[in-house]
Amino acid sequence: MSRRIVSVALVLPLLALLLLVSDSPYPALPGPKRDAPRAIVAMGDSTMAGEGAGSYEPGTNGENDNWCHRSTKAQVHRTRVAGVDKVFNLACSGANSEQVGVTDQVRNTEGSQARQLAAIAREYRVSVVVVAVGANDDPRFADVLGACLRAWIERRADCAKAMADEWRARVERMTPKVERALRDIRRVLQDEGYTPRSYTLVLQSYAAPVAPGLPFDLQNLAGCPLRTGDLEWVRDKAVEQLSEGLRTAAEAAEARFLDLSKAGDRREACMGGKKADAEWFTRLTVDFDGLRDEARARHALQESFHPNDRGYEQFGRCLTEFLATTAREASCVAGDDGNLDAVVAKD
C-alpha cells in the first residue's frame, strides 16, 4: 500500500468524526463571525479621547469621577475607512501605556483598554486600531507645561533650562513602555483569532500645542502664559524628541507610524491672535463653574492646550489619507490649501 493511500485512510475517519460533532467540517476559530460588522478602534490618552473638543460622551465628564473626556468630535470620529461600520473610542484622558496594555491598573474608574479591545474583537471585525499614548508616562508632558506656566507666573528662569537635560532620558524610559502596550494589543487580537495582516495598527505622535511668535498681548493669563524660551523648547525640542521615541516604539512593534509633530504649525494656541477660530488648539481654559465644586476643581484646567474641534477634524483628515495608503510611515503637514495632508516618508 502506498504512503498516499495510507494517509487518506488515516484522514478520512478524522473528517467523519468532525462532521459528527459539528455542523461545520472545520472547528470554530476564535473571533467574530465572517459577516461581523467592521470596526475602527481608538486607544490611548487625552489627545485620542478628544480632550478640548467638548461634546463629551455621557459618563466621561466627571460623572462618578470618570474624567476620560471622550468627545463625539474626537479624531477617530472624523476618520473615514472604507468598509468600516462602527467606531469605538476607548481612549481616556490621563491614560498611560500601562492602562492601554493588559493591566489591572484602574485610572479614571476604567481598566485595561486592551481588555476592552478584546471584547470588541469578538463581536466586530476590527480593521484598524489607532493609538496615541506615551506623554503621560515618564515625559509627563502636562506636568511640564504646568511647570512652564508656573515659571511665567513666578517670573523665574525658563523651565526649559531645567527640563532640557532630563527630557531625552524621560523619552528613552517611555519608549519600551509604549512598545509593550502595542505588543499587548497585538497579543489580545491574536488570542481572538486575528493575524497581523488582518488589521492595521497605527501609533501616532503628538503635535506641539504652543509655539513662539504669538502676539504679546496673549502671552499671559488671557491666552498662553508661557515664556518665549519655553515656547521654543516645547515646539523645537520636546515634541520632536517625543516623536522620535514613539517612532522607535512603533518600529519595534511593527506598527505603522503617523508623525504629528509638525501638524499644528502656525495653528498653535494663541497664534491666531484675535482670530481664535483659526487655531487648532485650546488656549488656557478654565472651568470657572468647576472651581466652585471641590470634586471638579482639580480638573478645572484639564482642557487647556489640547487640540480643539478644528484640530481633531484635521487630524482625522490626515489619518484618513494615511490609512488609504500602504506606507509604513507618514507625517501630517499642511498643504497649500491649509489642510493637513499625509506626506509619506521616503525610503
CATH code for the domain of 215:
3.40.50.1110
Give the model's pLDDT for residue 293. Answer: 81
What pLDDT score does 30 carry?
A: 60
Residue 33 pLDDT exceeds 90: no
- For the entire predicted model, the pTM comes to 0.90
| Residue 15, in any domain of the structure | no
Q: Are 307 and 319 in contact (CB under 8 A)?
A: no
| pLDDT band at 137; cut points 50, 70, 90 | very high
Q: Is the pLDDT confidence value at 138 over 80?
A: yes
Q: Is 283 a member of any domain? A: yes
User: Which whole number is the average pLDDT over 79-94?
Assistant: 96
Provide the pLDDT confidence category of residue 12 given band limits of 50, 70 and 90: very low
Q: Residues 46, 94: contact at Cβ < 8 Å?
A: yes
Is 14 among the domain residues?
no
**Adjacent-strand bridge partners of 129:** 41, 201
DSSP state, residue 57: P
Q: Of 11 and 179, which is predicted with more confidence?
A: 179
CA-only gyration radius of the chain, Å: 23
Judge whether 299 lies within some domain: yes
Structural domain includes residue 58: yes
Task: Match 476620560 to its residue by C-alpha cell.
Answer: 68
**Per-residue pLDDT, 183:** 98
> 3-state class of 295 per DSSP?
helix
pLDDT at residue 24 is higher than 50:
no
Please give the backbone phi and psi of residue 310, each rounded to the nearest 5 degrees, phi first: -65, -40
Residue 215 lies in a domain: yes
| Sheet of 340-344, strands arranged across | 86-89, 38-44, 125-132, 200-204, 256-259, 329-334, 340-344
- Is pLDDT of 1 > 70? no
For residues 2-25, one letter each, b for 16 or more C-beta atoms within 10 angstroms of the residue's C-beta and e for the rest, the string is eeeeeeeeeeeeeeeeeeeeeeee
- Average pLDDT of the residues in 18-28: 39
Average confidence score pLDDT of the chain: 90
242 vs 13: which has the higher pLDDT: 242
* Residue 7 is assigned to a structural domain of this protein: no
Q: Based on the structure, what is the number of domains in the chain? A: 1
Residue 26 resides in a domain: no
pLDDT at 147 over 80: yes
Domain with 103, as residue range(s), is 32-344
Running DSSP on this structure, what letter comes out for residue 277? G
pLDDT at residue number 16: 44
* pLDDT, position 294: 78
DSSP string of 237-254, one letter each residue? IIHHHHHHHHHHHHHHTT
pLDDT tens for each residue of 209-263: 999 999 999 999 999 999 999 999 999 999 999 999 999 999 999 999 999 999 9
Q: What is the pLDDT of residues 329-344, one digit of tens each?
A: 999 999 999 999 999 9
